Amino acid sequence: MALSVYSLEGKRALITGGGTGIGLGIAQAMVEAGAKVVITGRREAVLQEAVAQLGSHATYRVNDITDKKAIPGLVEDIESNEGPIDILVNNAGIHHKAMAQDTSDEDFERVLQTNVVSVFALTRACAKYMLQRKQGAILMIGSMAGLFGVDKVVAYGTSKTALTGLVNSLVTEYSTSNVRVNAIAPGWIESNMFLNAINKDEKRKQQITNRIAMDCFGQPSDIGNAAVFLSSEAARYITGVVLPVDGGATVNF
């Protein structure tokens, strides 16, 4: 198989939360594969630093994904001023750690709002253009916590499981227009979210490592490389999958 089917040359990707961690890893991998990327997030300084690192193929937009009214404008702005969005990566997300009985309605709603409601709104706004062009790749960044039960993450786990439902539903409507929808379910990937979640606790880190078949944490680039594959021509017949990228953690649980 020619290596060029993995190339993203000539493609433009919108990556939410692309200034840090996994989102930055995805942006880096996509730039290396030839794509132009637009990264978003709420902190301009973080985005500026990321763009400086990514080089001339990257731009940014300051955007709070939970600001529903801003979403159509964000997509229109990129489509008219930069060019067509061929790839959407719904990566931005928040974590919330608490026992179910200690999780308030407000916490639950906040997590669902960021991790699911906003993802649907942005997907719908981008798909409007993709469906007209009959071409597009949409990726959700889910989680291992959406595939099976994990304690103390009731809101987060529910939100990530919901992304599977979103993928399933969208595939039934978008596929005839050649718009593919897939998800990646990362395992434990070294990022700020992960380090905060384990509270920099070395003992906890070791306990987690013991649960990973490959005996080590993943890196943002591991998710980036999978994202490149699923967005590329090499995956032209792949839609509706949730791909675990977790060093075997899911089967080792």
Give the range of 79-87, 104-112, 165-173, 183-191 binding ligand NDP by CB under 6 A.
183-191
Q: Which amino acid is at 109?
A: E
**CB closer to ligand NDP out of 43 and 134:** 43
Q: How far is CA 222 from the centre of its chain?
A: 13
Q: Does 193 bind ligand NDP (CB under 6 A)?
A: yes
Structure token digits, residue 102 = 């200690």
182 binds ligand NDP (CB under 6 A): no
* Closer CB to ligand NDP, 7 or 66, in the complex: 66
Rule CB under 6 A: say whether 157 interacts with ligand NDP. Answer: no
Rule CB under 6 A: is residue 62 a binding residue for ligand NDP? Answer: no
The answer to whether residues 229 and 222 touch, using CB atoms and an 8 Å cutoff, is: no
Q: Please tell me whether residue 143 binds ligand NDP under the rule CB under 6 A.
A: yes
CB 108 within 8 A of CB 114: no
Per CB under 6 A, 161 contacts ligand NDP: no
**Interface size with ligand NDP, residues (CB under 6 A):** 30
Which of 13, 51, 58, 65 is close enough to bind ligand NDP by CB under 6 A?
Answer: 65
Which range, of 62-70, 101-109, 122-130, 163-171, touches ligand NDP by CB under 6 A?
Answer: 62-70
Q: Report if residue 192 touches ligand NDP, rule: CB under 6 A.
A: yes
Under rule CB under 6 A, residue 154 binds ligand NDP: no
Pick from 189, 227, 242, 243: which binds ligand NDP (CB under 6 A)? 189
Check if 156 is active-site: yes
- Which residues form the catalytic set? 156
Catalog residues that contact ligand NDP under the rule CB under 6 A: 16-17, 19-23, 40-43, 46, 63-66, 91-94, 114, 141, 143, 186, 188-189, 191-194
